[in-house]
A and B are shown apart, each in its own frame.
Chain A
Amino acid sequence: DAKTTQPNSMESNEEEPVHLPCNHSTISGTDYIHWYRQLPSQGPEYVIHGLTSNVNNRMASLAIAEDRKSSTLILHRATLRDAAVYYCMRGGTSYGKLTFGQGTILTVHP
Chain B
Amino acid sequence: NAGVTQTPKFQVLKTGQSMTLQCAQDMNHNSMYWYRQDPGMGLRLIYYSASEGTTDKGEVPNGYNVSRLNKREFSLRLESAAPSQTSVYFCASSEPGGRKMEAFFGQGTRLTVV
Residues of B within 8 A of A42 (CB): 107-108
User: When A2-B42, A96-B33, A101-B42 are in contact, do A46 and B103 touch as well, CB less than 8 Å?
Assistant: yes
A16 contacts chain B at the CB level, 8 A cutoff: no
- How many Å lie between the Cα of A36 and that of B48 in the bound state? 19
Hey, which bits of chain B sit against chain A, CB under 8 A? 4, 31, 33, 35, 41-45, 48, 50, 58-59, 90, 92, 94, 96-97, 101-108
- Jot down 25 A-B pairs with beta carbons below 8 A, ordered by A: A34-B101, A43-B106, A43-B108, A44-B43, A44-B92, A44-B103, A44-B105, A45-B105, A46-B102, A46-B103, A49-B101, A49-B102, A93-B96, A95-B96, A96-B33, A96-B48, A97-B48, A98-B33, A98-B43, A98-B45, A100-B35, A100-B42, A100-B44, A102-B42, A103-B42
Hey, which bits of chain A sit against chain B, CB under 8 A? 2, 32, 34, 36, 41-46, 49, 87, 93-103
